Amino acid sequence: MTELSIEGGRTLLGREIGETTLAISGGCIADVGNAAYGALGIDARDLLVMPGIVDIHGDAFERQLMPRPGVDFPVDVALIDSDRQAIANGITTVFHGTTWSWEPGLRGAENARGLLSAIETLRPRLAADTRFHLRQETFNLDAEDEIIGWMKDGRIDLLAFNDHMDLTGISKPAKRAKMIERTGLSVAAFDQLVDRVLSRADQVPASIRRLAEAANANDVATLSHDDNSPAMRAGFRDLGVRIAEFPINEETAIASAEAGDFIVYGAPNVVRGGSHTGWTKASDMIAKGLCSVLASDYYYPAQLLAAFRLAHDGILALPQAWSLISAAPAQAAGLADRGEIATGRRADILLIDDSVALRPRIVAVIADGKLAHLTDAGRLRPATTMPHKAIAAA
């Protein structure tokens, strides 16, 4: 029996938006266009009905783990709070970008292991489909065997190759200071650690190759981070790494697009009108067809806001802008069951009040067929039943 119906909303179907009714059953979209009897209904008149947002790169949860430098909160508390934030901003599939670095502290081994374990334990209690995106710092050589074991056991959903060693030098003092603060080390101890790590630089390329081979063998999608040249991107592509995450110049983005790679930029870049690092402007890349995915990056509200910003500014029509935060990231991550509204797809659906330009408001979130978030209870319709036939008296 249908469990939930969404009635009368302006619904994104393929590349068009039109009014229809959706029936949801067993966590899936059971029917498009027909009224559903016996179901709890949501009146979606005057609202947009859109597929749930898929976020393949987000690390905003780190602020719940460590809201101030040196101030830690329990990982379960942080993840539950992050889940509420993600759902309230329309993110129904979230990949927590967990960095495992050669550094101690927030991005060290203990936290990476703890986060993976906590995500696996808490997953049944979380409203968003919560997945593990491991961001491996490529100089973190000692972690290689353990990471390969995790992939063989099916514990990693995405694997990114990061290299932030350039931030350890004196040329970027603000970034360096933040990194040192995050580790909890003294400046002298940090410099000594960097020297030890750099002494093994010749071993890094072979480690990347082995990790990429293991990811390919275990169907784990892979990303390269901050590609700075077409040659760098080509090197990762040759290893089967088909997602370019934040290419830092247009030349590299063009080479990625020509090769058919997925290209990820941060949605905050679109909302703010540019990169906080001074690198590529995402809206320009989108206008040139050089971006296929927008991620929340460090701010959960950004994906929703970015899609409407792109439509408002005339860069993309809303259906195409929405693909950047739903269908395309689902495809990049290998999730064929979500990202669009169609019969048989996973029922991850958003109801959005778009009456105020550039300020979309989430009214309701259905995640895996369940009503996970609602801001207007007046839109609920009690369950109805088909009328029973009268039984004649004997």
Q: What is the mean pLDDT of residues 274-284?
A: 80
Domain count along the chain: 2
* Residue 204 to residues 100, 147, 177, 200, 341, Cα–Cα distance (Å): 15, 15, 25, 7, 43
Dihedral angle sign, alpha carbons of residues 353, 356, 357, 360: negative
User: Percent of the chain at pLDDT above 90?
Assistant: 81
Same domain, 28 and 63: no
Residues 316-331: tens digit of each pLDDT: 999 999 999 999 999 9
Contact 260, 237 (CB under 8 A): no
pLDDT averaged over every residue in the chain: 92
Same domain, 23 and 57: no
Q: Is the pLDDT of residue 387 over 70?
A: no
Q: Is the pLDDT of residue 391 over 90?
A: no
Same domain, 45 and 56: no
Considering only CA atoms, give the Rg of the chain: 23
**Would you state the pLDDT for residue 176?**
86
Residues 76-126: tens digit of each pLDDT: 999 999 999 999 999 999 999 999 999 988 889 998 999 999 999 999 999
Residues 222-251: tens digit of each pLDDT: 999 999 999 999 999 999 999 999 999 999
Same domain, 242 and 184: yes
**Would you state the pLDDT for residue 62?**
87
Same domain, 9 and 60: no
Q: What is the mean pLDDT of residues 178-196?
A: 89
Residues 339-369: tens digit of each pLDDT: 999 999 999 999 999 999 999 999 999 999 9
Full residue range of the structural domain in which residue 372 is found? 4-50+343-381
Comparing CA positions, the residue from 280, 241, 281, 279 lying closest to residue 261 is 241
Contact 376, 363 (CB under 8 A): yes
Report the half-sphere exposure of 111 (CA within 13 A, side-chain side): 28
**Would you state the pLDDT for residue 300?**
97
**Residue 153 CB burial class (10 angstroms; 0-12, 13-18, ≥19):** exposed
pTM for this model (two decimals): 0.92
Query: In terms of pLDDT, which residue wins out, 179 or 200?
Result: 200
Same domain, 238 and 352: no
Residue 391 forms part of a structural domain: no
Same domain, 118 and 219: yes
